[in-house]
Amino acid sequence: MAIIPHITESEWLIMHELWKESPLTAAQLVERVQAQKGLVATTIKTLLRRLISKSAVRFTIDENNAKLYYYFPNVTEEECIEKQSKHFLSLYYGGNVNKMLATFVDDSQLSGEEIDQLKDLLDAKKKTLEEE
């Protein structure tokens, strides 16, 4: 498995756009991110360069125009979410899943349906562990 880089909150804006549609040019990324957050173009391009240096984003150069670059993700959204989830759990809850879930359940206004869905997820996980 490839090393999944840590992606900052601002960098997620870029990644979300690339996960939705790729490849995109820098101009297209700037337009889309500005429509959401109003960041200036230089900031967006800086974030893009950081993602390239982290190997989260790759690019190709247009065959007919060497000044035109096309950007696309080098990591999947699922990989990044898993990495961020583990980081969050470790940073804020010392790796204790029970503590994290208890906090979320206590602080959330869950519907009966959402509680049933959580029970189903836990039951499925338990069944998987028993089958191993």
The model scores a pTM over 0.75: yes
Average predicted confidence (pLDDT) for the chain:
93
| Level-2 CATH architecture, domain 9-76 | Orthogonal Bundle (1.10)
Residue 12 belongs to what H/E stretch? helix 9-20
What pLDDT shows up at residue 15?
A: 97
The residues, ordered by sequence, that sit 6+ positions from 102 with a Cβ below 8 Å of its Cβ are: none
What pLDDT shows up at residue 132?
A: 85
> Nearest-CA neighbor of 56 among 95, 84, 36, 93?
84
CATH class of the structural domain 78-131: mainly alpha
What pLDDT shows up at residue 80?
A: 94
Enumerate the domain spans of the chain: 9-76, 78-131
pLDDT confidence band for 81 (50 / 70 / 90): very high
What pLDDT shows up at residue 107?
A: 87
What pLDDT shows up at residue 38?
A: 86
